[in-house]
Amino acid sequence: MQIISEQLKKDLLHSIRDIPDYPKPGIVFKDITTLVNNAPLLTKLIESLKQYYDNMNLDFVAGIEARGFIFGAMLAYALNVGFVPIRKKGKLPFTTMSEKYSLEYGFDEVEIHIDAFREKQNARVLLIDDLIATGGTAQAAFKLIESLGAKCIEACFILNLPDLQGAQKLSKSLKVTTILDIGN
């Protein structure tokens, strides 16, 4: 199913700003602030996502810190379901579950509150972030959701860097939807 029109895809792609060598040399940072400050584009994107996810009987949308909060919270509101933040280590105040994942050099860790899904068994959860690159963050977030007894129905990313194969790897565990694929 086509989630957004070809025209909206083009407009969204044009709205994203490339920042070379940020946060370190060799990385081209995909800056979505120029998408989210464009009211008509943002509204069209969230409405398209709402239409697509409306009949999936979701209970929660879980967003990955920090830009996953922007899209995740708006979509949760549009779908009339709860929002769950998945945060970097040490940011959540209550008891957490945590999951480490490897980076190019070293490790990082994401956390979720143990009562994130309000003790609802088999809660149906959509995972969302702005971008998937290697997929390490999303894979760890997926494990956290399922470790609490919830079902991660699908993962959604506004941007995908297909060359890094993260979406491809993650799709072995669950359905992955990407809105814009950005090749080199």
SS3 82: strand
Site string for ligand AMP, 28-57 (x = CB under 6 A): xxx---------------------------
Closest-CA residue to 129 (of 57, 32, 59): 32
Q: Which two tokens stand for residue 140?
A: 């760890």
**Of 17, 104, 119, 154, which one is the catalytic site residue?**
104
Q: Considering only 21-29, 34-42, 51-59, 90-98, which stretch makes contact with ligand AMP by CB under 6 A?
A: 21-29
Residue 67 designated active-site: yes
132 binds ligand AMP (CB under 6 A): yes
**Cβ closer to ligand AMP: 9 or 29?**
29
C-alpha to C-alpha distance for 93 and 109, rounded to whole angstroms: 15
Kindly identify the residues of this chain, within the stretch 103-122, that bind ligand AMP according to CB under 6 A.
none
**Cβ closer to ligand AMP: 72 or 136?**
136
Q: Considering only 1-9, 23-31, 47-55, 113-121, which stretch makes contact with ligand AMP by CB under 6 A?
A: 23-31
- Pair type for strands 96-102 and 17-20: unpaired
Q: Which of 130, 142, 153, 155 binds ligand AMP (CB under 6 A)?
A: 130
Cβ partners under 8 Å of residue 171, min gap 6 = none
Cβ 115 vs Cβ 150: under 8 Å: no
133 binds ligand AMP (CB under 6 A): yes
C-alpha to C-alpha distance for 102 and 139, rounded to whole angstroms: 11
Residue 104 designated active-site: yes
Question: ∠ CA(116), CA(86), CA(149), 5° rounding?
Answer: 45
**Cβ closer to ligand AMP: 120 or 162?**
162
C-alpha to C-alpha distance for 148 and 152, rounded to whole angstroms: 10
**Of 67, 87, 99, 111, which one is the catalytic site residue?**
67
Q: What is the dihedral of CA 155, 77, 81, 10, to 10 degrees?
A: -20
Q: Which of 58, 61, 135, 156 binds ligand AMP (CB under 6 A)?
A: 135
- So which residues are the catalytic ones? 67, 104
Interface with ligand AMP (CB under 6 A): 27-30, 64, 67, 129-138, 166
